[in-house]
Amino acid sequence: MSAQADLRGDRQSELWRSLEGVNDPELDEPVTEMGFVERAEVLADGSVAIDFRLPTYWCSPNFAFLMLDGMRQALDALSWSPAYRIRLHDHMFAEEVNRGVEAGKTFGQIFGELAGDEDIAGLRETFARKAYLRRQEAMLLGLRKQGLTDREILGMDLLAYDTARLEGEEAIKQKPRYREALLLRWPGRRPTEPVFITWEGSPIPPEALGAYLAELRSVRINMEFNGALCRGLKTTRYKELEVVDGEPTLVDFILDRVAPRDCASRPAHS
């Protein structure tokens, strides 16, 4: 294999790693795992091409914008600073979103009057809160399974958290993600301060942990339900094939089968 091919392969791996850090804002799951990224390719000239498709034609444009904006930030951080093209397909506002994202516009600039009173900053915070709580629940439950008492868990600082051993796929997955969410929310937090605090920054009393976990469980169940719905809608939408000029082509047949509501068209709940 040539040095040029090696370089392209390394860049391709870096590209996918960067996209794995872009989450569906409502579900807190990587867009790559949700199957939304259908193409992410480093071209021969070093530029990048991304093709992106959401579960339905009606997915809320603010959700589409948040994900595409996340991709834009991920691509801007690539080590070789490539030119890139991101394309949203089969969406009612695909043309407006693609043109706006390419021009570096904000949500309000892209949609103008269509944006209405939509508060993108507020929406980002709502989803950041849900992600924080979901990741936190996984860690609290994981540490309980390790035999730690509630008092020991809630007294844990960042230094102890980093060295804690966990079992179970979900806890292991969420350990670095909760750390990231905590420090994003509280960037000045000292390593010796408690690692488990509410979104508002209050300590969690050990005697209140059971009730607190019940609240976190409701957040997780809502997110898991929406995630399952999104996956199901996308699978249903693209499960039929049509052959055109000898090539298989995805057929959008959901228009006649699903009412214009989906995981991203419902209002967000805190």
One-letter-per-residue 3-state SS of the chain: CCHHHHHHHHHHHHHHHHHHCCEECCCCEECCCCCCEEEEEECCCCCEEEEEECCCCCCCHHHHHHHHHHHHHHHHCCCCCCCEEEEEECCCCHHHHHHHHHCCCCHHHHHHHHHCCCCHHHHHHHHHHHHHHHHHHHHHHHHHHCCCCHHHHHCCEHHHHHHCCCCCHHHHHHHHHHHHHHHHHCCCCCCCCECCECCCCCECCHHHHHHHHHHHHHHHHHHHHHHHHHHHHHHHHCCCEEEECCEEEECCCHHHCCCCCCCCCCCCCC
Cα dihedral 165, 223, 212, 133 sign:
positive
247: pLDDT strictly greater than 80: no
pLDDT at 116: 59
Which CATH number is 3-118 given? 3.30.300.130
The answer on pLDDT for 267 being more than 70 is no
> For residue range 74-110, what is the model confidence (pLDDT) as tens digits?
999 999 999 999 999 989 889 988 888 888 888 778 8
- pLDDT for 264 beyond 80: no
> In the structure encoding, which two tokens stand for residue 131, read together?
């992600």
CA–CA gap between residue 215 and residue 75 (Å, rounded): 36
What pLDDT sits at residue 119?
A: 74
What are the φ/ψ torsions at residue 218 (nearest 5 degrees)?
-65, -35
Indicate whether 244 pLDDT > 50.
no
| Three-point CA angle 151, 153, 159, nearest 5° | 125
Which pLDDT tens digit goes with each residue over 26-51?
Answer: 889 999 998 899 999 999 999 999 99
266 pLDDT band, cuts 50/70/90, is: very low
List the chain domain ranges: 3-118, 122-222
Confidence band (pLDDT; 50, 70, 90) for 65? confident
Please compute, for residue 153, the number of CA atoms within 13 A of its CA located in the half-sphere on the CB side.
26
Of 129 and 63, more confident: 129
| pLDDT tens per residue, range 174-222 | 999 999 999 999 999 999 999 999 999 999 999 999 999 999 999 999 9
